[in-house]
Amino acid sequence: EAGVVQSPRYKIIEKKQPVAFWCNPISGHNTLYWYRQNLGQGPELLIRYENEEAVDDSQLPKDRFSAERLKGVDSTLKIQPAELGDSAVYLCASSSWAGPQPYNEQFFGPGTRLTVL
């Protein structure tokens, strides 16, 4: 079974430029998460989707960040314009409540390492 796919794996841009990240979750997973992981820290949730609906975007800096999940499958996270402090690894994860397990195990993609110069 294919895991969570993210692209690009690495991105280097200059400040004030736009950037976009793409995520393809595990087939059948209705919940999709975007996290930001700063160097030496744990992941921090930016936004969570249930199907195509953003149900938790309280930590998303909405002045410059946007996300969409069209048709409830793939998702795109955009930053415009990027700032120096946005340099981090952006992780996508997916999960599904379907099945016998009483918990919501998240499966993570490889991440996109963003460097803003």
CA distance 86 to 94: 23
Q: Which of 34, 43, 46, 116 contacts another protein by CB under 8 A? A: 43
Binding-residue pattern over the window 77 to 116 for another protein, x denoting contact by CB under 8 A: --------------x----------xxxxxxxxxx-----
Q: Does 39 bind another protein (CB under 8 A)?
A: no
Closer CB to another protein, residue 41 or residue 53?
Answer: 41
Sorted by sequence, the CB contacts under 8 Å of residue 34 that are 6+ apart come out as: 23, 45, 46, 47, 48, 67, 75, 77, 90, 91, 92
Least distance between another protein and beta carbon 78 (Å): 21
Q: Does 68 bind another protein (CB under 8 A)?
A: no
Q: Which of 41, 53, 70, 98 contacts another protein by CB under 8 A? A: 41
CA distance 21 to 115: 13
Edge to edge, the sheet with strand 65-68 lists 5-7, 19-24, 75-79, 65-68
Closer CB to another protein, residue 16 or residue 97?
Answer: 97
